[in-house]
Structure 1
Amino acid sequence: MSAFLASPEQILLFGLASVFVYALLSNAIAKTIVTLPMIFTAIGYICSEPLDALISPEILNDGTRLLAEITLVLVLFSDASRVRFQAFKKTYSLALRMLSIGLPLTVLFGTVVVYALHPFGGLGVALLTAAVLTPTDAALGQTVVTGKTVPEELRNTINVESGLNDGLALPFILMGAILASSGIGGSHVDDLGKVILLQITLGPLIGLLLGWGFAKIMSAAQERQLMAEAAGGVAFLTVAFAAYFLSEAAGGNGFIAAFTAGMVFGNTYKSQIHFISEFMEGMGQLLTILSFFVFGAVLLPDGLAHVNWIPVTIAIFCLTVVRMVPIWVSLLGTGLEIRDKLFLGWFGPRGLASILFTLIIIDEYDFVGETSLLACVSMTVFLSIIAHGVTAAPMSKRIGAAR
């Protein structure tokens, strides 16, 4: 294969052909245990050696960072824009419990486990690793959220949780990254509080103002029939990236700003915002394909090069007890059956958000435990792609039959 992929053009053609074949066979593939992340992680891994030989590390690094930033801004904004404040507590009470109780407990439990197994990086790296591995990705078990065999209440809960926990995990990730980097030329300990405060306050403030302001302007233009409906897709891109860049320029965190802007925009805009979901259905899938390709081509080989029993053990813990125990605790008193709690706890696949956060954090911060973080994330996402992909269909049928 390396002989065949002897130039950037040949790698590009191979990638395009793979995407086209996947599109042609997408319905047939959906009926099997094979998933999109499995396919394009494997394709990326096949291309990893030719890419290393043909493209300089600087260009490859810049390209992956750009892809990660664009994808994460769009994912955070679009996911947050679907939340409706008025209906959230009543309609998505289970997801609210999992996000408000389960997510912080998962970060805390994960930090303890990582630090106990690998204390050499310090609490900062332990917190960062746990936080990066907290967001879930419903795409790794697509059958669970699209198949009709899973009860609607459980499907909606998993979908809403996976859509919001990446944004809500951001402050923990940010604190972990700043703490981890503070010891080797990053922020001084005295300045940590100020840096963290600026990052987690300016972002939401700028996102709130821009999300509200742009939504009001677009609503007025829509009411006066000044804006074509199809132009909404272009306009929302402007809002998302304006929030990101303005927050970064002001010293805040652009990703938190994009997440907040999406939430406020979705609740302020008076007309339907289906143009966001329509745009993300096509572009979002392409960005997901590219992200898992990059995972297979860049993160996975580097992670495997540094893997030992510690990252594998951390990955197994993160996919099981570190996730499932906090979710179980968050669902106490809801009246759910034991099987439903276990189902919601198990289907917390790690995927897109963990990949993107890792690419950005490693590029932006310098800290002692970079290789440990890389190995832990690579192993966790790799095992999750296989485990959740294989179990999605049979467990969906079983939970539906039990109900």
Structure 2
Amino acid sequence: RLLSAGMLLTILLGAATAMACFTDLSWWEAGILAAILAPTDAGLGQVIVNSPQVPARIRQALNVEAGLNDGLAVPFLMLFIALAAAIEEGAGTRGVLAHFLVEQIGYGTAIGLAIGLGGGLLMGLAQRRQWMTPELGQLGVVAMPLLCILAAEESGASMFIAAFVSGLAAQVGFPKVGRHSVEFTEGWGQLFNFFVFFLFGLLFARSWHDFTPAIMLYALLSLTVVRMLPVSVAVAGIGLSRASVLFLGWFGPRGLASIVLGLVYLEQQPNLPGETTIRLAVMATVLMSIVAHGLSAKPGIERYARSNEALPPDAPEHAAVVVPATH
């Protein structure tokens, strides 16, 4: 529900909110901004998904959503960039759509399947024959998305779609790819995460005087209404308590995923009129999220845990969850 209806409504509401806050954006540029800020950040939400005070079903929902929604947002982002650039250049949208479907999605999916299936089968064989130590499994997993990036650059495909599909396809021949990717993320990946946020802080320090009231208002709305209303609609009808719906809606932090998607947009160099507004809105939203979600995480967990004490044992929050096997 969060990855389908929730995410589509978030992008739609985010674009509509951007049009209401900014006068210099077209609808496609507003869609670009909404797609960049739609994914939630697994790193900033780590304290939530690791807390035993939060029901396992709620933790898993937030964890899986943050792990998948950045890849799902990429096709929307690339499509909006292509359409906005085509309109700015006076080109027809039909040719842009065909080019987008063939190159960005078609080639990206083909590259991801080839590298994921081939790499997964080779790594699975190496593990069964004991040709590879367990520690090197982490490097093998990291090598596959890097190969996707190289191949995508040469073919004009979307590197993120290729890497996303590759990660899914690798599980066919190497079921432990998920465990190794988590190990890398919790080790070296965390270092890279901090490094990116350090660079982000430097960029923010250089641009803080450019943040207008409209930029800050959009950042606030993006973290509240634009996130929380779609979540409440998406989970309606499954019996979650009001506290659970509020908890799911609020703890959708924006962080590394939005920074990376913002860099993808800037790397495309579409030279759109609203580029400055998009860049500043993304920076303000991410910074506000870091502060607001960081300060509210611990008290939010404790208050939510107290509200759950009154729930009956058969409440949906306490339903058993299936954790994928890693062995």
Determine which of 241, 245, 249 is the counterpart of 2:154.
249
- Hey, what does 1:143 align to over in structure 2? 47
Secondary structure in 1 matching 2:25: helix
Secondary structure in 2 matching 1:182: helix
Instruction: Give distance in 2, aligned partners of 1:345 and 1:267.
Output: 34
- Hey, what does 1:326 align to over in structure 2? 230
- Hey, what does 2:182 align to over in structure 1? 277
8 Å contact from structure 2 (residues 117, 169) kept in 1: yes
- Hey, what does 2:316 align to over in structure 1? none
- Hey, what does 2:123 align to over in structure 1? 218
- Deviation at 1:284? 0.8
Superposed counterparts of 1:1-400, under 5 Å: 97-185=1-89, 189-197=93-101, 198-271=103-176, 273-298=178-203, 300-365=204-269, 366-400=271-305
Secondary structure in 2 matching 1:114: helix
Assess, with a 3 A threshold, how the Cα gap between structure 1 residues 302 and 176 changes in structure 2: closer, same or farther.
farther
Secondary structure in 2 matching 1:120: coil
8 Å contact from structure 1 (residues 303, 378) kept in 2: no
- Deviation at 1:101? 1.1
1:223 corresponds to which letter in structure 2?
Answer: R
2:8 corresponds to which letter in structure 1?
Answer: P
* Identity between Structure 1 and Structure 2 (%): 38
Q: How many residues align?
A: 306
Task: Tell me the alpha carbon deviations over residues 132-157 of structure 1, each in whole angstroms, 9 at most, x when there is no partner.
Answer: 01111133243212222111111111
Secondary structure in 1 matching 2:272: coil
Deviates more, 1:181-190 or 1:306-315: 181-190
- Hey, what does 1:37 align to over in structure 2? none
Deviates more, 1:149-158 or 1:274-283: 274-283
- Deviation at 1:174? 0.9
Assess, with a 3 A threshold, how the Cα gap between structure 1 residues 262 and 187 changes in structure 2: closer, same or farther.
farther
The answer for unaligned runs of 5 or more in structure 2 is 309-327
Assess, with a 3 A threshold, how the Cα gap between structure 1 residues 304 and 230 changes in structure 2: closer, same or farther.
same
Instruction: Give distance in 2, aligned partners of 1:210 and 1:261.
Output: 6
Q: CA RMSD in A?
A: 1.8
Instruction: Give distance in 2, aligned partners of 1:232 and 1:161.
Output: 25
8 Å contact from structure 2 (residues 121, 172) kept in 1: no
8 Å contact from structure 1 (residues 306, 372) kept in 2: no
TM-score normalised by L of structure 2: 0.88
Assess, with a 3 A threshold, how the Cα gap between structure 1 residues 303 and 256 changes in structure 2: closer, same or farther.
farther
Instruction: Give distance in 2, aligned partners of 1:267 and 1:331.
Output: 31
Instruction: Give distance in 2, aligned partners of 1:391 and 1:186.
Output: 47
Secondary structure in 2 matching 1:121: coil
8 Å contact from structure 1 (residues 312, 379) kept in 2: yes
TM-score normalised by L of structure 1: 0.72
Which is richer in helix? 1
The answer for unaligned runs of 5 or more in structure 1 is 1-96
1:396 corresponds to which letter in structure 2?
Answer: I
Instruction: Give distance in 2, aligned partners of 1:142 and 1:393.
Output: 12
- Deviation at 1:293? 0.6
Assess, with a 3 A threshold, how the Cα gap between structure 1 residues 176 and 273 changes in structure 2: closer, same or farther.
closer
